């Protein structure tokens, strides 16, 4: 049985539904800005009383789309963000599944799961720990050729 403490922080919950040009991946057969990345889902932000650690728990769907085709994946990896006394992000931990994009009849072409630890924010920080496959982040041998070919006209 779980009992909430009277001092426990209440989560701040909000919905995300954003689409923008994919910048982390580029495909030779697509023009710049043609491959789109969408993020949709709910996010719970839970902060410690001193605001030194913020956990962003989420359930989301990521989608890449171009030329009328799309690939989607669910993800639930939390972001654990540590701040210094001035409010700057000093470390970000990302454990769990970020994305697993699968082409029907082919298989998984992008997979990001395991543990990432960065000095600084995600994205934008310096990776200090990478465990597990994190394809599409430029950290492992992914199948970008099949991923890109799927979206070509």
* Domains in the chain, number: 1
Q: Is residue 1 part of a domain?
A: no
Peptide bond into 25 cis (omega under 30): no
- Burial-class residue 101 by CB neighbours within 10 Å (0-12, 13-18, 19+): buried
Record the pTM: 0.72
pLDDT one digit per residue (tens) for the chain, 153 residues: 333 333 455 667 778 888 988 877 788 888 888 999 888 887 777 776 666 677 776 778 889 999 999 999 988 788 788 887 777 888 888 888 888 888 999 988 888 888 989 898 877 788 899 888 876 665 555 678 888 899 987
Pull the structure tokens for residue 98. 């970020």
Structural domain that includes position 71: 12-151
Q: Is residue 54 part of a domain?
A: yes
């Amino acid at each position: 049985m779980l009992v909430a403490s009277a001092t426990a922080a209440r989560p701040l919950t909000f919905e995300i539904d954003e689409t923008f040009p994919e910048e982390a991946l580029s495909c030779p057969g697509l023009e710049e800005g043609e491959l789109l990345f969408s993020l949709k889902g709910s996010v719970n932000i839970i902060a410690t009383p001193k605001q030194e650690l913020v956990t962003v728990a989420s359930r989301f769907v990521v989608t890449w789309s171009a030329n009328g085709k799309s690939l989607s994946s669910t993800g639930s990896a939390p972001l654990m963000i540590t701040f210094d006394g001035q409010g700057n992000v000093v470390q970000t931990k990302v454990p769990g599944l970020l994305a697993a994009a699968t082409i029907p009849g082919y298989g998984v072409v992008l997979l990001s799961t395991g543990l990432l630890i960065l000095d600084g924010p995600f994205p934008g920080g310096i990776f200090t720990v990478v465990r597990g496959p994190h394809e599409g982040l430029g950290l492992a041998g992914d199948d970008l050729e099949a991923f890109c070919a799927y979206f070509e006209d």
